[in-house]
Amino acid sequence: MASFFGIGVGPGDSELLTVKAVNTIKQLDVLYTPQAHKGGKSVAEKIAAPYLPANLEIKRRHFPMVKDWEIKMKSWQEIAVEIGHDVENGNNVGFLTLGDPAVYSTFSYIAEMLKGQINVQTIAGISSFSQIAASLSVPLMLDEETLEVIPATADIAQLEKAIDVNDNVIIMKIATRFDQIYKILEERDLLEKTVIVENASMRTQKEKKLVDYSIDDKLPYFSTALLKKRQKNVKIN
């Protein structure tokens, strides 16, 4: 049966794709990926490049990076219709997503639109925060510790609550609101207990404690904060 696969390619290193992800990619007839600026290859496509079959049809599509939900939903619906037609014509169709398809992924919206029309399968990937913990050789949580994953774009009150009530906090997309989050953590004397990882698992990966940044610093888009309140000292490699 032809199917639509959401495939997690991990945070950046091509070697972090799972065996299942690679085997699924090899079975594809058509692959959808985001269209990068100026029509180039997206980060997800570059990560998966070593495993893409030579005869694979690649469809690069524009996914609007805007706050207007009406604009985004219209674009996603058009792409979902095209994907549905491809699968109905007997093609195995893939959709690449950074990290894991279940974590802040456009795939989830498209899959919901196609539910009940075609067979949809999700291939899990390694999330950026799992890889960050691995690269730092620290646990995300232990025993009865709590962990919350929250985007920097969340309401400020939600961010403050997440930081106040949890032992461990992952803040995604921190570059979008770095100065505000820096101030929140500074007020709570948590700069020393927070690590920023830029471009996790990519060649340009960097790790620094938040205390070593300035509030006015500009971070790369792929930057994530890991706060560990109970950890006495998170060592930076």
Domain-wise residue ranges, the chain: 3-123, 129-228
Which pLDDT score is estimated for 41? Answer: 87
- pLDDT category, 35, cuts 50, 70, 90? confident
Question: What CA–CA distance (Å, rounded) separates 30 from 83?
Answer: 9
Q: Among residues 63, 55, 65, which one has the least CA distance to residue 31?
A: 55
Which pLDDT score is estimated for 39? Answer: 65
Pairing verdict, β 168-172 and 119-123: unpaired
Which pLDDT score is estimated for 193? Answer: 96
Q: Is 95 exposed, middle or buried (0-12, 13-18, 19+ CB in 10 A)?
A: buried
Q: What is the mean pLDDT of residues 146-165?
A: 97
What is the token pair recorded at 153?
């774009």
Which pLDDT score is estimated for 38? Answer: 62
Q: Which CATH superfamily is domain 3-123 in?
A: Tetrapyrrole methylase, N-terminal domain (3.40.1010.10)
166-214 residue pLDDT tens: 999 999 999 999 999 999 999 999 999 999 999 999 999 999 999 999 9
Which pLDDT score is estimated for 37? Answer: 66
Q: What is the mean pLDDT of the chain?
A: 94
Q: Among residues 122, 174, 185, which one has the least CA distance to residue 152?
A: 174
pTM comes to: 0.91
Share of the chain above pLDDT 90, in %: 88
The one-letter amino acid code at 190 reads: L
Architecture of the structural domain at 129-228: 2-Layer Sandwich (3.30)
Which of these ranges, 58-67, 167-176, 214-223, has the smallest mean pLDDT?
A: 58-67
Give the chain's end-to-end CA distance (angstroms, integer): 47
